[in-house]
Amino acid sequence: MVPKITPPSVDYARWYTDIVQAAELAAYAPVKGCMVIRPYGYALWENVQQALDQRFKATGHKNAYFPLFIPESFMKKEAEHVEGFSPELAVVTHGGGKRLEEPLIVRPTSETIINAMFAQWIQSYRDLPLLINQWCNVVRWELRTRLFLRTTEFLWQEGHTAHASAEEAMAETYRMLDIYRDFAENEAAIPVIPGRKSESEKFAGAVESYAIEAMMGNKWALQAGTSHFLGQNFAKAFDIQFLSKDNQLEYVWQTSWGVSTRMIGAIVMVHGDDQGLRLPPRLAPIQVVVVPIWKNDEERAQVMAVVEGIMSELGQDLRCHLDDRPEVSPGFKFNDWEMRGVPLRIELGPKDVQKSHAVLVRRDLPRRQNKSTASLDTLLPEVRNLLDAIQSSLYTQALRFREENTFQPATYEELQEAVSKGFALAYWCGSADCEATIKEETKATIRCIPLQQDGKPGPCVCCCKEAHEKAIFARAF
């Protein structure tokens, strides 16, 4: 039996956990706070990795690998950084049967160890920009675990760059934020709002943090990627200096940026529905599932002959799966693959063979509106078109949902109501007091100050003082 999924309207958190486990994306590990990423979830992550990695390499970044362990003393070199991460650290105190002289931190992020190396590698302006990315695991101690969203260990990529000027580093910060936006929108079909973080929400050690924020199915926000302008904070802590073109010794300007397996959680929560997952075709491990239908051996032979032709034709440039399990019914298979979010299903029975067509069923549309037939002669182009249509339909649905649930409150009362229903885009004067008041009274935080602003001033939604920017306020994961 296909496992039961709690309806999202009944309990969104349980719906999420049910779906992640039923679709076999991930499982709780027998290690506190940790998860196992199962093959179906990992295949999705591999597709995320590939789409991002291509973009990083196309913009001149190179992958490298730095140690998992960071000497405790390194963590302490940048004051804000250590303060921000101290409560979350896992510490190795024993190695090879002996107590270590200096404890080793299991990396929560790699600014410190990477910058220790940058200090050795960077001598002259000719060594800049240095554009490095690392795919790895990181550990941040968590008491409350949610698969993909909050686990003690997670997988991510972390970019670390060094530049000769603040302008160049700032341009890089924006460039990577835009790569994340492009990835989210065009690969994950997730509309996002790129913006600046408030002081209280920025990365420990950054001058400015930027993020892409997305609306989940329960109208809460999820930060789906971050890009930080580090200024010269780490350069000074790790003494990364270079000889400029004018023969001056200067500190480098830096950035760091990351996307993690959280992105999988975002994909689940943006697109999922009562039936289960809905995966965007460009990232789906299985883009097309083929379900043959028969009642007896004769029908089976007839149908399978056609299905094998379809598999070899489609399989050449699409990720296809043939579900020929004899022990379960077609109906079971339909539900099973719907739950697993496969974008397109092809059904083929003896009558279809006679008519030389196949039935195509889209996962992005409601049942009863999602079926069509295609001639076997034109199946491949039809399937390609449908996958493109599904990709953009998932994006459009998510965008409409966000727009319908984004409000522009002018007063504090309107803000209170807005954040209980979705995103609030409201004037904010920039004061930490207003931010704290709103957080305390509504549980909503400033997700970001969108890069796109209309430029007109207005009264702060909290204190009514003149404000020059609007911020997105929302409940967040």
Determine if 88 is a binding residue for a second copy (CB under 8 A).
yes
**30-49 footprint of a second copy as x/- string (CB under 8 A):** xx--xxxxxx--xx-xx---
Cβ atoms of 472 and 453 within 8 Å: the answer is no
Determine if 51 is a binding residue for a second copy (CB under 8 A).
no
d(CA 319, CA 93): 46
Cβ atoms of 255 and 228 within 8 Å: the answer is yes
Determine if 64 is a binding residue for a second copy (CB under 8 A).
yes
**DSSP bridge pairs for 212:** 194, 225
d(CA 444, CA 225): 19
Please identify, using beta-carbon distances, which residue of 181 and 340 lies nearer to a second copy. 340
Determine if 164 is a binding residue for a second copy (CB under 8 A).
no
Please identify, using beta-carbon distances, which residue of 38 and 175 lies nearer to a second copy. 38
Handedness of CA 45, 50, 55, 57 (dihedral sign): positive
DSSP class of residue 28 equals E
Please identify, using beta-carbon distances, which residue of 18 and 352 lies nearer to a second copy. 18
- Least distance CB 257 / a second copy (angstroms): 17
**103-142 footprint of a second copy as x/- string (CB under 8 A):** xx-x------x--xx--x-----x-----x---xx-x-xx
d(CA 201, CA 471): 13
Cβ atoms of 168 and 253 within 8 Å: the answer is yes
Please identify, using beta-carbon distances, which residue of 10 and 58 lies nearer to a second copy. 58
DSSP class of residue 447 equals E
- Least distance CB 263 / a second copy (angstroms): 14
- Least distance CB 20 / a second copy (angstroms): 14
d(CA 93, CA 173): 36
Cβ atoms of 78 and 112 within 8 Å: the answer is yes
d(CA 235, CA 232): 5
DSSP class of residue 329 equals -
Exactly one of 29, 243, 304, 380 binds a second copy (CB under 8 A); which one? 29
- Least distance CB 273 / a second copy (angstroms): 26
- Least distance CB 157 / a second copy (angstroms): 13
Site size with a second copy, rule: CB under 8 A: 56
Please identify, using beta-carbon distances, which residue of 106 and 429 lies nearer to a second copy. 106
- Least distance CB 339 / a second copy (angstroms): 18
Cβ atoms of 310 and 383 within 8 Å: the answer is no
Two structure tokens written together for 46 = 């591999």
Residues at the interface with a second copy (CB under 8 A): 27, 29-31, 34-39, 42-43, 45-46, 62-71, 74, 86-97, 103-104, 106, 113, 116-117, 120, 126, 132, 136-137, 139, 141-143, 152-153, 155, 327
